């Protein structure tokens, strides 16, 4: 199957990768300036699960396994556009030059709003309170490509590959 698809037209390959949710958001190629927000590369304990409707339940990000106190890095260059607590949980949002926002929670010792950051810059420390993975600690990492349009943040990373599923 891979041999056949590899030689298929770009349009067919795009349709296949979009269908399985592995293509990057429109306007970028994976790996262009984006890095993992935790190092070393963390285990993904829960992936992106888009809701069927914008208001419905879903998982609007990826949960990355980490350790309380671990440094949280900006995934890409930009400006910290929010740094504070929401419902008692520390949150950092970074707005990137293309207008996208990456979000990180739970985060303590957060960079201040307005701070300019490079990809990989420290924006805080992983908190244990408020983790989606309790009793373990994990970082919930999100990507918004418009005010209310969430995408899979893992598609920003260069080592993500399309997963082709069998037909039928």
18: in domain:
no
When the pLDDT of each residue in the chain is averaged and rounded to a whole number, the result is: 81
Instruction: Pinpoint the alpha helices (H) of 79-136.
Output: none
N-terminal to C-terminal alpha carbon distance within the chain: 13
Task: Give the single-character DSSP code of 154.
Answer: G
54: in domain:
yes
70: in domain:
yes
The residue range of the domain holding 146 is 29-156
Alpha-carbon span 156 to 148, nearest angstrom: 18
Query: Would you say 104 and 72 are in contact if contact means Cβ atoms under 8 Å apart?
Result: yes
Q: Which of 28-37, 65-74, 103-112, 142-151 has the lowest mean pLDDT?
A: 28-37
3-class secondary structure, 124:
strand
How many domains does the chain fold into?
A: 1
Tokens of 167: 């037909």
84: in domain:
yes
Say if residue 144's pLDDT is above 90.
Answer: yes
Instruction: Specify the pTM.
Output: 0.75
The residues with which 80 forms a beta bridge, in sequence order, are 94
Task: Give the pLDDT of residue 159.
Answer: 58
Query: Would you say 138 and 63 are in contact if contact means Cβ atoms under 8 Å apart?
Result: yes
Q: What percent of the chain has pLDDT over 70?
A: 76
148: in domain:
yes
48: in domain:
yes
Burial label for 32, CB within 10 Å (0-12, 13-18, 19+), is exposed
56: in domain:
yes
CATH code at 68? 2.70.70.10
């Amino acid at each position: 199957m891979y041999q056949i698809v590899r030689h298929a037209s770009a349009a067919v390959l795009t349709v296949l990768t979009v269908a399985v949710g592995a293509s990057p958001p429109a306007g970028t190629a994976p790996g262009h300036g984006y890095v993992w927000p935790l190092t070393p590369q963390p285990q993904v304990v829960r992936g992106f699960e888009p809701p069927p409707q914008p208001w419905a339940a879903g998982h609007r990000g990826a949960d990355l396994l980490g350790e309380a106190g671990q440094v949280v890095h900006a995934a890409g260059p930009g400006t910290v556009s929010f740094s504070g607590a929401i419902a008692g949980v520390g949150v950092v949002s970074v707005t990137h030059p293309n207008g996208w926002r990456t979000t990180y929670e739970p985060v303590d010792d957060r960079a201040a709003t307005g701070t300019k950051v490079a990809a990989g810059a420290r924006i805080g420390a992983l908190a244990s309170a408020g983790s989606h993975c309790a009793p373990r600690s994990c970082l919930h990492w999100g990507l918004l490509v418009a005010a209310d349009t969430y995408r899979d943040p893992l598609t920003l990373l260069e080592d993500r590959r399309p997963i082709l599923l069998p037909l039928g």
